A = this chain, B = another copy of it.
Amino acid sequence: MISSDIVVHIKSMPIFKNLPSHNMEQLASIAIDQHFRRGEIVFSEGDKGTGFYVVVSGRVKIFKLSFEGKEQILHFFGPGEPFGEVAIFEGWRFPAHAQCVNDTRIFFFPRDAFVDLLKRHPTLSLNMLAILSMRLRKFTHLVEDLSLKEVPGRLAAYLLYLRERNGGRSFFELDISKSQLASLLGTIPETVSRIFTKMNKQGIIHSDGRHIQILDAERLRCLSEEGERL
């Protein structure tokens, strides 16, 4: 007897959208319910991947580390988002680290049972293809940012993204610490701090701790899209 709780969660996951109900139950029967504390590692770069994960609640960050310990965050994943799929289709080893940012609940789907299901359900494959495509698109953006924009431009883009994610409201909260933000933007906390200060002084934003208010969205757009200088 499968916990109906698990089925309910699975039904709400975009990756399993449009699947017939009995498949949801199959999935529930292979899912392994896992709980992690804030800071715990789900997997490390190079680990063998024997399946993939979907976040139920909480948040996971995927990141790379340099020799000196500098961190580059590749993604944050929240409820409903899958991660670790690359290792099941190709290469077998995880290309980066995964760590829980909060206390987090995760379903783990073992590879073989899942691939079986994929073979029998084209819908599921197409969902998966769409997810990987979306991720590729995101990476394309990240590469563009890292190589073609300077840090103020990346920060500006991120603030505009946050505004969008908050329904277009110009007043919102940072959902991550500034150090994590630095790591996401491919820089260090000091640099982020200095840029925040400058943006405040120039009246582009008003920020206090994690509270951000965008005062001059047009200016942010110029910074992010046209390489304008601070």
Residues of B contacting A72 with CB < 8 Å?
143-144, 147-148
Interface size in chain A (residues, C-beta < 8 A):
45
Instruction: Report copies per complex.
Output: 2
Q: What is the interface of chain A mostly: helix, strand, loop, or mixed?
A: helix
Of B86, B96, B133, the residue contacting A91 (CB under 8 A) is B133
The 8 A CB mask of A146-184 against B (1 = contact, 0 = none) is: 111100000000000000000000000000000000000
Which one of B86, B128, B227 contacts A66 once the chains associate, using CB atoms below 8 Å?
B227
For this complex, 5 residue pairs linking A to B, each with C-beta atoms less than 8 Å apart, are A64-B140, A66-B227, A90-B129, A91-B137, A136-B139
How distant is the Cα of A164 from the Cα of B226 in the complex, in angstroms? 39
Indicate which residue in B74, B125, B146 contacts A140 across the interface (CB closer than 8 Å).
Answer: B74
Interface string of A74-92 (1 = CB under 8 A from B): 1000000000011001110
B120 adjacent to A125 (CB under 8 Å): no
